[in-house]
Amino acid sequence: MIVANEINKSFNSNKVLCDISLTINRGTFFAIKGPSGCGKSTLLNILGLLDTPDSGKLYFDDELINFKNRTRTAYLRSREIGFIFQAYNLMPKLTVFDNILLPFLYLKKSLFNQNLYDTLIERLSLTRLLTKPADVLSGGEKQRVAAARALITNPNIVICDEPTGNLDLANARFLMSLLKEISIEASKTVIMVTHSNDFDSFFDDTFVFEG
């Protein structure tokens, strides 16, 4: 369970988040919605431990997150959280294979699960792309690779920042289906920022920023 309590965040005196409180239960497909510039991504980044709030508290299960402890937040990002970004954020010159296994540069090799890898490669249709460098892939292919990289460590939380924003409808539907599937079958918490209403039926719970 993730609990955010009175989270505040400002950028250069511009208050982006004001006393945001929410609770996300394990295994929930959770959406954060709202108009552009309302602070959706900022909240998501704080929940994903990529950014630090100015004030407020964040709990992962019962652990109060100490954002000043960079080693601990890095550890939680590596073990508990997987990220899927709108801009994919792949390493362009590395192959698909190297991109997917990039987290294991920082993790013990014993945490690598061959079955999970095989399942992801097959499920995301990445077999024929494994040796290609990431920068030659299409948008849909890049996002599938990003999804594989996010899931290869078997994280409990998957953070998605508008992952369908650069995809066509078919690819977007495929990705949403996949995320819904892992949320249900593997009881993973998926937190997604989106401004689209097209996939509202996928979400179990939604936090909406008022305009």
CB of 88 to another protein, least distance (A): 9
How far apart are CB 201 and another protein at their closest, in Å? Answer: 29
Structure tokens, 135: 């920068």
Binding residue for another protein, selected from 3, 102, 116, 186, defined by CB under 8 A? 102
Beta-bridge mates of residue 85? 161
Find the shortest distance in angstroms from Cβ 43 to another protein: 12
> Does 9 sit near another protein (CB under 8 A)?
no
- Stretch 81-100: interaction string toward another protein, x if CB under 8 A: -xx-x-x-xxx-xx---x--
* Binders in 149-188 for another protein, by CB under 8 A: 149, 153
Q: Is 71 in the site for another protein (CB under 8 A)?
A: yes
Residue placing its CB nearer to another protein in the complex, 51 or 204: 51
Q: What angle do CA 14, 17, 22 make, to 5 degrees?
A: 180
Q: How many residues bind another protein (CB under 8 A)?
A: 29
CB 71 → another protein: shortest distance, Å?
Answer: 5
Q: Which residue lies nearer to another protein by CB, 107 or 186?
A: 107
Can you give the three-state secondary structure of the chain, one letter per residue?
Answer: CEEEEEEEEEECCEEEEEEEEEEECCCCEEEEECCCCCCHHHHHHHHCCCCCCCEEEEEECCEECCCCCHHHHHHHHHHCEEEEECCCCCCCCCEHHHHHCHHHHCCCHHHCCHHHHHHHHHHCCCHHHCCCEHHHCCHHHHHHHHHHHHHCCCCCEEEEECCCCCCCHHHHHHHHHHHHHHHHHCCCEEEEEECCCCCHHHCCEEEECCC
Is residue 70 a contact residue for another protein (CB under 8 A)?
Answer: yes
Task: State the minimum distance, in angstroms, from the CB of residue 51 to another protein.
Answer: 5
Question: Which residues bind to another protein, rule: CB under 8 A?
Answer: 45, 48, 50-51, 70-71, 74-75, 77-79, 82-83, 85, 87, 89-91, 93-94, 98, 102-107, 149, 153
